[in-house]
């Protein structure tokens, strides 16, 4: 006898949940496809060297590593037993994919990926060690056209899913850096400074100031919190003007993005100077989607103009947006969303010891009903026929036929 | 710089291939759904104990094993470094899934799974270390109704895919065993005997007899080959009668299956007494699909009435059929099958330095065209505009608009 449960932190997906997941995925992909994104797929497994190239931030600590095999394993030292790992996101594999296949792809490549990723996190409610990400990326578009399309497409996908209460928060890494520099922080401390700043929502301005102050001194801490807060207090126009004065490059980028999406009638967007995003590879615009009463992030992304260059040399611009599929699924399930495929559902029942002749009459009748677009089950009656019928009705079956030597009779 | 290629034996899937793969998968799933199969999903990773429980035959030697993590790893001896593995098929995970969730599933459970599996095989042409399987299984139906539906559903899926030149070869493990017993082989040698018998197609009757003879003596070898061949020489009715006389249980089972599917008008089926199938867990009927000129197996399956009992105790009947997705994909790609989604494909082009106003006019026009069911790209012109246009035309785009301060103009 074995443990029946899936590995720690992983899940079995029941039929009704899978239907909903497929519907969500199809809806998102339908919208993305209409924007000209094309689907790609990479292996779930990548070389460990690629996965541990310091692009994945803390996720690199969470890699499921795969043992070498055969001779390769025999010749390995104890600290070098693994050669592969399960991917922890879809972005690092995408960059390898583009490097490997760019000759066969359009020069501006709009990629769409839906797939599982794995992270050996301490399991907790709503967090899994295998979960689905749903990414779009635009490679080789250096202007804010990329950001604009990513925001519009992702927004449209959420609307189509019946999730209108979202807001896309936008910032620019270059602005963050300029802010930190202006407040006297050293470049080597930026990562730590930003991790603290990122907690503004959770621990408030006082909390952030205290933490920064303890680590880097009171002066810079006070300045940075005040400056960030002041950008949040202003109306959007004034805040963006201020951003332009602090970091013209980033400010202008933000002005262009906000101007363009608003001109397209998209209003669910907000400038948030305290937005940080965890991944090391972002170089410019960053975004995150907050969802309504849940107050949680249901997606995020940004521009990463250097990641690809590290793989293929030169500069290759890229910008991506990832939808947190599991969170979207949870919200829609909580809302009671179900899938109705519109197909009729019919059952043909026979006695337990039905002859081949009776069974084939039932199977043929089912085949006929299928050509009319119905889902058809052929089943043998069980002892507790009442229970069987009620279970089938609960599963959505509405039409029942009993098949015997005497022919096929509809049950009322 | 990193290696741009995927790990050895694995693949990047290009957009046009992914479209075809999705179309194939959707077609198969549509047919299976109409038979009342419901989709499930299990993690790609399972406990190593489950994967190495001697059910997977040679595949157990090909498992990608995952290193333990953290403290667990520190406390492990050198021969016990792994706790998880990538699944090598979908059947073993299905049995765990059913054991874990049977309270929430219908008593006769018709499961449908499409997913990747991993095997660390020596890479060779057309064989990959990550590949997709597409399985249906019926759990808790002990009669030949299960086999019949699996054959009809799989056959219909192949027809729908435009692959009519297949034949389902059917045998029964119990008949194989009875044949071997009747020819004087010992039960402990059966596995080896069947591996040799399985080569009848490849090395011919003489080859099989020679191999058996060398291992187990000339007498039994000659008898077994003659008996198996004689079953193949007869017409179906006579062969099945002979099967009934050798092993009544298996013979009657085969007679019922053949009778029922033929009564349903399904003729692409053949009794093959030399069919063996590799997996240890089969207990009764086994099947394999051969495809036309390719002469290759594009699927297979069988009844495994004991695998589930090992997990949840008692006897739980099960029977499954797996389509070899990668082979189907290769055949259809060779045949030149492409996917036409029927959507119009439109491009809106702007100058490289287009203003936010021009970009938003292009984006808004694209949004409008999308509501009419078109796929729309918004792109900046590149220097070599002629090349850009011809690439886009090759990618299926047929309508082009140029957007500027002067408005939007259609290109002829």
What whole-number distance in Å separates Cα of residue B375 and Cα of residue A30?
A: 10
What whole-number distance in Å separates Cα of residue B271 and Cα of residue B169?
A: 6
What's the rounded mean pLDDT across residues A376-402? 94
**Correct CATH for B1-157+292-339 of 3.30.930.10, 3.90.960.10, 3.40.50.720, 3.20.20.70:** 3.30.930.10
Beta bridge pairs of residue A47: A84
Q: What is the dihedral of CA B181, B187, B188, B191, to 10 degrees?
A: 70
What pLDDT score was predicted for residue A2? Answer: 72
What's the rounded mean pLDDT across residues B150-164? 97
Distance from CA of A213 to the nearest CA of B (A): 33
What would the pLDDT profile of A245-272 be if each residue is shown by its tens digit? 999 999 999 999 999 999 999 999 999 9
Question: What letter does residue A143 receive in the DSSP assignment?
Answer: S
What's the rounded mean pLDDT across residues B87-104? 94
Please identify among residues 220-249 of chain B the ones whose CB lies closer than 8 Å to any CB of chain A: none
pLDDT band at A292 (very low <50, low <70, confident <90, very high): confident
> Which one of A36, A41, A45 has the shortest CB-CB distance to B7?
A45
What pLDDT score was predicted for residue A294? Answer: 64
pLDDT at A164 over 80: yes
Closest by CA to A172, choosing from A243, A264, A263, A227, is A243
> Is the Cβ pair B46, A6 closer than 8 Å?
yes
> Is the Cβ pair B310, A50 closer than 8 Å?
no
- Testing the interface with B: which of A37, A52, A66 to mutate, by most B Cβ within 10 A? A66
Residue A398, φ and ψ in degrees, nearest 5 = -125, -15
Which of A13-22, B199-208, B209-218 is most confident?
A13-22
What value, to the nearest 5°, has the Cα angle with vertex B135 and ends B129 and B136? Answer: 170
What whole-number distance in Å separates Cα of residue B91 and Cα of residue B392?
A: 44
> Over chain B, what is the mean pLDDT?
93
Which residue of chain B is at minimal alpha-carbon distance from A97? B12
What would the pLDDT profile of A40-93 be if each residue is shown by its tens digit? 999 999 999 999 987 777 788 899 999 999 888 888 888 899 999 999 999 999
Distance from CA of B18 to the nearest CA of A (A): 6
Which residue of chain A is at minimal alpha-carbon distance from B108? A379
Q: Which residue has the higher pLDDT, B193 or B313?
A: B193
pLDDT band at B127 (very low <50, low <70, confident <90, very high): confident
Segments making up each domain of chain B, as ranges: 1-157+292-339, 166-281, 345-411
- Classify the C-alpha dihedral A29-B110-B298-A357 as positive or negative: negative
Which residue of chain B is at minimal alpha-carbon distance from A17? B40
> Is the Cβ pair B264, A364 closer than 8 Å?
yes
| Residues near B206 by beta carbon (within 8 Å), at least 6 away in sequence | none
Under 8 Å between Cβ of B116 and B131 = yes
What's the rounded mean pLDDT across residues A306-327? 89
Which residues of chain A make contact with B81, given a CB cutoff of 8 A?
A: 67, 81
What whole-number distance in Å separates Cα of residue A367 and Cα of residue A387?
A: 26
Under 8 Å between Cβ of A226 and A238 = no
| Residue B340 touches chain A, beta carbons under 8 Å | no
Share of chain A above pLDDT 90, in %: 77
Share of chain B above pLDDT 70, in %: 99
> Is the Cβ pair A356, B260 closer than 8 Å?
yes
Which residues of chain A make contact with B18, given a CB cutoff of 8 A?
A: 38-41
What pLDDT score was predicted for residue B389? Answer: 95
Which residues of chain B make contact with A67, given a CB cutoff of 8 A?
A: 64-67, 81-82
> Is the Cβ pair A104, B14 closer than 8 Å?
yes
> Is the Cβ pair A47, B11 closer than 8 Å?
no
What's the rounded mean pLDDT across residues B330-356? 92
Provide ipTM, 2 decimals. 0.93
What would the pLDDT profile of A112-159 be if each residue is shown by its tens digit? 999 999 999 987 877 899 999 999 999 999 999 999 999 999 999 999
Please identify among residues 36-75 of chain A the ones whose CB lies closer than 8 Å to any CB of chain B: 36, 38-47, 49-50, 53, 64-67, 69
Residue A134, φ and ψ in degrees, nearest 5 = -135, 100
| Residue B101 touches chain A, beta carbons under 8 Å | yes
pLDDT at A1 over 70: no
Distance from CA of B158 to the nearest CA of A (A): 15
- Tell me the fold of A15-334: BirA Bifunctional Protein; domain 2 (3.30.930)
> Which one of A11, A36, A310 has the shortest CB-CB distance to B43?
A11
Residue A244, φ and ψ in degrees, nearest 5 = -60, -35
What whole-number distance in Å separates Cα of residue B401 and Cα of residue B408?
A: 6
pLDDT at B295 over 80: no
Distance from CA of B291 to the nearest CA of A (A): 24
Which residues of chain B make contact with A72, given a CB cutoff of 8 A?
A: none
Tokens found for residue B357? 């106003």
What pLDDT score was predicted for residue A330? Answer: 93
Question: What letter does residue A156 receive in the DSSP assignment?
Answer: H
Which residues of chain B make contact with A120, given a CB cutoff of 8 A?
A: 69
Which residue of chain A is at minimal alpha-carbon distance from B368? A264
Tokens found for residue A52? 């541990």
Under 8 Å between Cβ of B286 and B170 = yes
> Is the Cβ pair A34, B107 closer than 8 Å?
no
What pLDDT score was predicted for residue B126? Answer: 74
């Amino acid at each position: 006898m074995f443990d029946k449960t899936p590995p720690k932190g992983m899940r079995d997906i029941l039929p009704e949940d899978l239907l909903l997941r497929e519907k969500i995925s199809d809806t998102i992909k339908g919208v993305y496809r209409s924007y000209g994104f094309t689907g790609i797929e990479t292996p779930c497994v990548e070389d460990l060297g690629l996965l541990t190239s310091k692009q994945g931030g803390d996720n690199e600590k969470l890699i499921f590593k795969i043992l070498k095999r055969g001779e390769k394993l025999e010749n390995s030292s104890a600290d070098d037993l693994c050669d592969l790992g399960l991917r922890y996101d879809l972005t690092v594999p995408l960059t390898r994919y583009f490097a490997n296949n760019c000759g066969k792809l359009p020069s501006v490549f709009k990629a769409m990926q839906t797939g599982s990723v794995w992270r050996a996190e301490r399991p907790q409610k709503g967090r899994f060690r295998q979960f689905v990400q749903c990414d779009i990326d635009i490679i080789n578009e250096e202007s804010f056209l990329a950001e604009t399309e990513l925001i519009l497409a992702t927004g449209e996908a959420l609307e189509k899913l019946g999730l209108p209460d979202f807001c896309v928060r936008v910032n620019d890494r270059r602005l963050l850096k300029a802010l930190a520099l202006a407040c006297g922080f050293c470049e080597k401390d930026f990562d730590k400074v930003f991790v603290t700043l990122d907690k503004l929502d959770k621990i408030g301005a006082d909390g952030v100031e205290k933490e920064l102050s303890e680590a880097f001194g009171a002066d810079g801490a006070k300045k940075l919190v005040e400056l960030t807060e002041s950008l949040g207090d202003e109306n959007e126009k004034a805040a963006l003007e201020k951003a332009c004065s602090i970091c013209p490059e980033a400010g202008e980028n933000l002005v262009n993005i906000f101007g363009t999406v608003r001109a397209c009638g998209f209003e669910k967007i907000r400038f948030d100077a305290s937005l940080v995003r965890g991944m090391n590879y972002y170089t410019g615009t960053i975004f995150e989607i907050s969802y309504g009463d849940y107050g949680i992030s249901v997606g995020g992304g940004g521009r990463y103009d250097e990641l690809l260059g590290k793989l293929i040399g030169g500069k290759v611009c890229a910008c991506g947006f990832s939808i947190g599929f599991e969170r979207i699924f949870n919200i829609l399930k909580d809302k009671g969303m179900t899938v109705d495929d519109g197909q009729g559902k019919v059952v043909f029942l026979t006695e337990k010891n039905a002859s081949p002749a009776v069974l084939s009459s039932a199977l043929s009748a089912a085949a006929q009903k299928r050509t009319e677009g119905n889902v058809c089950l052929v089943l043998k009656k069980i002892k507790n026929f009442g229970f069987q019928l009620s279970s089938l009705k609960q599963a959505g079956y509405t039409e029942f036929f009993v098949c015997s030597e005497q022919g096929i009779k509809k049950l009322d």
